[in-house]
Amino acid sequence: MKKFEVLEEEATADVAYKAYGESLEEMYSNAALGLFSLITDIKSVDVKQVDLITVEAEDKEALLLDFLNELIYRWDVEKILFSDFSCEISKEGEGLVLKAECKGETFDGERHKVKTEIKAITYFGMKVEKKDGIWETIITPDV
């Protein structure tokens, strides 16, 4: 099973990608991996730090949007590139809580080349759904 794929044919956006997972948590992890693969060559990102990120939202789409936008914030403000993710999702009250362990390192201009500047993740086309036992979503970043 592929983790993610960049969608070349999306005419409405400069870039879009689809993320997959055998579990909802795996799909969220792969969505984050896909995001950073658009930003840089993730093979060049070493694990030198681990950040714990917690996000709460009312539904699966909002949770994914908030999670990916938090990762973009960490990249924009702290210049942290991530290359490995482990997510746990739980239901709390009326909403959902995502706890993610994100591994990576601070940007190093000598080793990391920025491929795409991403401003934010949008709701455009986003729908988290399970098809034939596999979770999937389309993600459309604002570049």
Helix, strand or coil, per DSSP, at residue 88 = strand
99 residue type, one letter: K
Confidence of residue 11 (pLDDT cuts 50, 70, 90): very low
Domain ranges of the chain: 4-142
Residues 110, 64: Cα–Cα separation, whole Å = 31
CATH number of 4-142: 3.55.10.10
Neighbours of 136 (CB within 10 A): 18
3-state secondary structure of 72: helix
Q: Report which secondary-structure segment, H or E, holds 91.
A: strand 80-92
Give mean pLDDT, residues 104-128. Answer: 94
**Average confidence (pLDDT) over 99-108:** 98
**Given this model, what pLDDT does residue 7 score?**
73
